[in-house]
């Protein structure tokens, strides 16, 4: 028996390619949309106990208090919840605010309408089970 002998089994390229996620299937060859959603959307936003409005309020309060790290985190939560709700306007608003306070660039802002549409399709399939 060869347990834990320090050897790692290598997966073949074929095996790895066979493990395509639902999101990868939905985005196809659109790497930009895939990247945008991987870094912004929640797997199951129903488990988030904060509403979009509460998250936005928390972000604004944190920003007024000068806590930009916390403000950025709350803007990202609000943006992620807006993706789930399918609200493109709020996605743009909250990720623009997150970018402003954190200095980060969010790929989702390049084509938010398309990203939200793909996310809605993903949620329809993934959360209906």
CA–CA gap between residue 102 and residue 81 (Å, rounded):
19
More confident residue, 4 or 64: 64
Average pLDDT over residues 68-97: 98
40 within some domain: no
CB 105 within 8 A of CB 99: yes
Structural domain contains residue 81? yes
- The answer as to whether 63 is a domain residue is yes
Is there a domain that residue 125 lies in? yes
Residue 129 is assigned to a structural domain of this protein: yes
Q: Could you give the percent of the chain with pLDDT greater than 70?
A: 84
Residue 26: inside a domain: no
Cα separation, 81 vs 48, whole angstroms: 9
Count of structural domains within the chain:
1
Mean pLDDT of the region 20-35:
89
pLDDT of the residue at 20: 60
DSSP state of 12: P
Whole-number percent of the chain with pLDDT over 90:
74
pTM of the model: 0.82
Domain that holds residue 67: 50-129
Interacting residues of 3 by C-beta distance below 8 A, sequence separation 6+ = none
* pLDDT at site 88: 98
* Residue 91 placed within a domain: yes
Could you give the CA distance from residue 107 to residue 129 in angstroms, rounded to a whole number? 29
pLDDT band at 19 (very low <50, low <70, confident <90, very high): low
Q: 27 lies in a domain?
A: no
């Amino acid at each position: 028996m060869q347990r834990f002998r320090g050897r790692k089994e290598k997966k073949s390229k074929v095996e790895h390619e066979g493990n395509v996620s639902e999101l990868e299937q939905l985005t196809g060859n659109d790497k930009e949309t895939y990247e945008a959603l991987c870094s912004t959307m929640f797997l199951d936003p129903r488990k988030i106990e904060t509403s979009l409005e509460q998250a936005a309020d928390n972000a604004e309060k944190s920003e007024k208090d000068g806590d930009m790290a916390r403000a950025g985190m709350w803007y990202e939560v609000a943006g992620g919840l807006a993706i789930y709700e399918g609200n493109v306007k709020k996605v743009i608003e909250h990720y623009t605010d997150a970018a402003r306070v954190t200095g980060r660039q969010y790929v989702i802002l390049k084509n938010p309408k398309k990203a939200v549409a793909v996310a809605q399709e993903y949620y329809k399939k993934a959360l209906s089970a």
